[in-house]
Structure formats: structure tokens, C-alpha cells
């Protein structure tokens, strides 16, 4: 991550944040900011942590990174409650469910801990509106997942010659990010009259189940042209199912997210296209925004970061490769 580019993106507010940071360090005040990821073992969140740590170092704040090993509210809520019990000055969190995390996050907010959501959101993701039971977080900092789904759809449409049957391999309903990716994908595909979108397959975030579903769909639709995996496990599983059905090269697979491990998948043809988010930027902006709030500055209720399209042709380009998530 190039912090200078991020500072340029923040413009004048970045200079103000760093200037305030210098004054605060001189005064001896050290804030503590907690980052609770969706899960700790995923390269996306590990890369987000690196970006957050870079911002924390630049601003002279303490950063706590603590999460669960699986992406679900049952495992995340106890971690969240333990983190809040330590009374951090601000909380950054990737909620694992947009409804079930409202209550525990409201409890944190009521206890005086400012909340910023990263990557995923609660409620409808519209904060500081003055209405609803989930508008209390200060900001939502993430990729625009609806736009990401649209980008994935355009890339897949181009790769299949703008015609044929496709479907979405999703994890489960109710996860804000993947819901939006599916919605964006379908909205864009509606603009491609020669492409038919088959019913979504939900795989419970299980690559083996996604593989089995791909085989099943192919048995029913031998003319299937493409699959969009709304996360990495969905795409890798779908790609394996395509290969096991003998349809490699015929059915194009688009993956949302791009850890380093996907390089081999792109080169082997298991996956044809990867849509990379910029998690380090999310982490950096989140810490910088929390710090701005703690030092009396206003922050926007939403900050969107970008995407990079990666395929077999450009994956070795250093300008592209830097967007792969490193574990």
C-alpha cells in the first residue's frame, strides 16, 4: 500500500488528521482503537490489518486486532463483547450479519464506544440519518460491493461473448457484502439481453458444496457459460466443479476477492477473472477516520474504496500484483 496515495485521496482532511496526530502525541495522549475483523484467518482481513497498522503507526495510536476464526455472528459476538469490555476509544468492525450484530454494537455505542463498520455493515448501511435502529455507527468504510458486482458482470459478459447462461454462487442470504455483490451483478446482467441469469446457488461458504452445485447446474444446463462466485470459496469451489465436469475452458468463472493464492488458479484456468478489493485502504481510512472523530473532526458517513480486475494476462504486472491480498 502506498500511503501517499491514500493521503492524496483524503485531501486536506488527511493533512489535518496528521497535524492533529502530531499535536496529540506531543501532548502525551495515546488513543486505543480496536479492529474486529470478519475472521482472523482470511488474507483479506490480514491485509486490512496491515493498512490499519500503518495508519496507527503514522498517527501514534494503539491498535488492537482481535477476531474469531470463522465468519459468523455466533463466534464474533463474544469476541466483540470481550473487546468492548476493554473500553477502547473507538471500535472498527466487519459485522458478520447485518441484523444480528445490531444489538451488541448498539450496546458498545451506548457504553460510549464510537463504532465504524468496515467491509460489511449493519441495517441498510445508511448511517447518521436520524432514523432506524442501525444508523448509530459513524461511518461505513468499504468497497462499493454493488459496483463490484456490476464490474464482475461486465467482465464475465465480455469473456463469454455477451451471450449464454450464467449463475451466481453465493454463500447465504443476509450477509451485506455478498447480498450487494449479487444484486449489482444481476442489475448489470439485466442490461445484457442475450445473457440468462439462472437461480442463485447458496453454498454456506463451503467450497465443496459450491463444487457440487456447479456440477449439478452443468448437468441441467450443458450450455452454461459462466459463474460468478461472490467470495473466494464460492469461486474456487465452482471452478473445481467445472473442472470435475470436464467443462474447463468452456465455462468462465469470476471470483470476487484476490488473495495471493489465486495467482495459481488464474494461471491454471481454474478461475478466469478475479475482482480485487483494496482492503489495506479500508483499514487505513478506518483508523484515520476514527482518529479524526476522536480529535474533534467530522467524518463522512461512508467512504468507498476501489477495485482492480485481475486475469491471467495481467497478474504478473507489478502495478496489478500489488493489489493481491497477502496473508
pLDDT digits (tens, 9 = 90+) for 109-168: 999 999 999 999 999 999 999 989 999 999 999 999 999 999 999 999 999 999 999 999
Backbone angles phi, psi at 269, to 5 degrees: 90, 5
Strand, helix or coil for residue 165? strand
- Residue 4, pLDDT > 70, answer no
Of the listed ranges 16-25, 28-37, 42-51, 286-295, the least confidently predicted one is: 16-25
- Residue 28, pLDDT > 80, answer no
pLDDT tier, 279 (very low <50, low <70, confident <90, very high otherwise): very high
Q: In whole angstroms, what is the distance from residue 299 CA to residue 236 CA?
A: 38
**pTM, two decimal places:** 0.82
pLDDT digits 0-9 by tens, 63-119? 999 999 998 999 999 999 999 999 999 999 999 999 999 999 999 999 999 999 999
Output the CA torsion sign for 283, 288, 291, 292. Answer: negative
Residues 69, 74, 80: CA angle, nearest 5 degrees:
75
Q: What is the pLDDT of residue 326?
A: 87
Q: What is the pLDDT of residue 176?
A: 81
Whether 95 contacts 121, CB under 8 Å: yes
Average pLDDT of 170-178?
A: 89
Q: For residue 9, give the C-alpha cell.
A: 485521496
Q: For residue 93, give the C-alpha cell.
A: 468492525
- Residue 191, pLDDT > 70, answer yes
pLDDT tier, 171 (very low <50, low <70, confident <90, very high otherwise): very high
pLDDT tier, 240 (very low <50, low <70, confident <90, very high otherwise): very high
pLDDT > 90 fraction of the chain, expressed in percent and rounded = 86
Pairing of strands 273-277, 307-311: antiparallel
Pairing of strands 32-36, 90-93: parallel
- Helix axes 232-244 and 207-220, enclosed angle (nearest 10): 50
Strand, helix or coil for residue 325? strand
Q: For residue 28, give the C-alpha cell.
A: 502525551
pLDDT tier, 22 (very low <50, low <70, confident <90, very high otherwise): very low
- Residue 5, pLDDT > 80, answer no
Q: In whole angstroms, what is the distance from residue 323 CA to residue 310 CA?
A: 9
Q: In whole angstroms, what is the distance from residue 102 CA to residue 99 CA?
A: 6
Task: Please report where in the chains the cell 444484486 appears, as a residue.
Answer: 183
Instruction: Give the chain's count of helices (H) and strands (E).
Output: 12, 13
- Residue 17, pLDDT > 80, answer no
CATH 3.40.190.10 for domain 3-137+278-306, yes or no, is no
Looking at the DSSP bridge assignments, the partners of residue 168 are 228
Q: What is the pLDDT of residue 15?
A: 46
Q: Which residue has the higher pLDDT, 196 or 2?
A: 196
- Helix axes 279-294 and 43-59, enclosed angle (nearest 10): 40
Across the chain, the runs of DSSP E, i.e. the strands, are 32-36, 62-65, 90-93, 115-118, 139-143, 164-170, 195-197, 201-202, 224-229, 252-256, 273-277, 302-305, 307-311
Where does the chain hold its CATH 3.40.50.2300 domain(s)? 3-137+278-306, 145-276
- Residue 23, pLDDT > 60, answer no
Helix (H) or strand (E) holding 107: helix 102-110
Looking at the DSSP bridge assignments, the partners of residue 325 are 259
Average pLDDT of 300-305?
A: 96
pLDDT tier, 1 (very low <50, low <70, confident <90, very high otherwise): very low
CA nearest to 64, candidates 15, 21, 17, 30: 30
DSSP string computed for 233-276: HHHHHHHHHHHHTT-BTTBEEEEE--BTTHHHHHHHTS-SEEEE
Domain at 145-276: CATH code? 3.40.50.2300
Average pLDDT of 15-30?
A: 54
Amino acid at each position: 500500500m502506498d500511503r501517499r496515495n491514500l493521503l492524496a485521496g483524503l485531501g486536506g482532511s488527511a493533512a489535518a488528521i496528521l497535524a492533529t496526530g502530531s499535536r496529540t502525541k506531543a501532548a502525551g495522549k495515546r488513543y486505543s482503537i480496536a479492529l474486529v475483523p470478519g475472521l482472523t484467518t482470511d488474507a483479506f482481513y490480514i491485509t486490512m490489518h496491515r493498512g490499519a497498522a500503518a495508519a496507527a503507526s503514522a498517527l501514534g495510536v494503539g491498535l488492537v486486532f482481535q477476531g474469531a476464526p470463522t465468519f459468523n455472528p455466533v463466534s464474533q459476538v463474544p469476541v466483540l463483547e470481550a473487546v468492548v469490555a476493554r473500553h477502547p476509544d473507538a471500535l472498527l468492525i466487519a459485522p458478520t450479519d447485518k441484523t444480528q450484530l445490531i444489538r451488541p454494537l448498539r450496546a458498545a455505542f451506548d457504553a460510549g464506544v464510537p463504532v465504524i463498520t468496515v467491509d460489511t455493515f449493519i441495517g441498510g448501511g445508511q448511517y447518521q440519518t436520524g432514523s432506524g435502529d442501525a444508523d448509530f455507527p459513524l461511518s461505513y468504510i468499504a468497497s462499493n460491493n454493488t459496483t463490484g458486482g456490476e464490474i464482475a458482470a461486465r467482465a464475465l459478459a465480455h469473456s463469454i461473448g455477451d451471450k449464454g447462461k450464467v449463475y451466481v454462487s453465493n454463500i447465504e442470504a443476509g450477509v451485506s457484502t455478498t447480498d450487494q455483490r449479487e444484486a449489482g451483478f444481476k442489475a448489470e446482467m439485466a442490461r445484457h439481453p442475450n445473457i440468462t441469469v439462472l437461480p442463485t446457488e447458496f453454498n454456506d461458504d463451503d467450497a465443496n458444496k459450491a463444487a457440487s452445485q456447479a456440477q449439478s447446474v452443468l448437468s441441467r444446463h450443458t450450455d452454461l457459460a459462466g459463474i460468478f462466485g461472490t467470495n473466494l470459496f464460492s469461486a474456487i469451489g465452482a471452478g473445481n466443479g467445472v473442472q470435475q465436469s470436464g467443462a474447463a475452458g468452456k465455462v468462465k468463472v469470476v471470483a470476487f476477492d484476490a488473495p495471493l493464492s489465486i495467482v495459481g488458479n488464474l494461471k491454471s484456468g481454474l478461475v478466469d477473472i478475479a475482482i480485487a478489493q483494496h482492503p489495506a485502504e479500508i483499514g487505513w481510512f478506518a483508523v484515520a477516520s476514527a482518529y479524526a472523530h476522536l480529535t474533534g473532526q467530522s467524518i463522512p458517513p461512508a467512504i468507498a474504496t476501489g477495485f482492480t480486475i485481475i486475469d491471467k494476462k495481467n497478474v504478473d504486472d507489478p502495478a496489478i500484483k500489488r493489489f493481491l491480498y497477502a496473508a
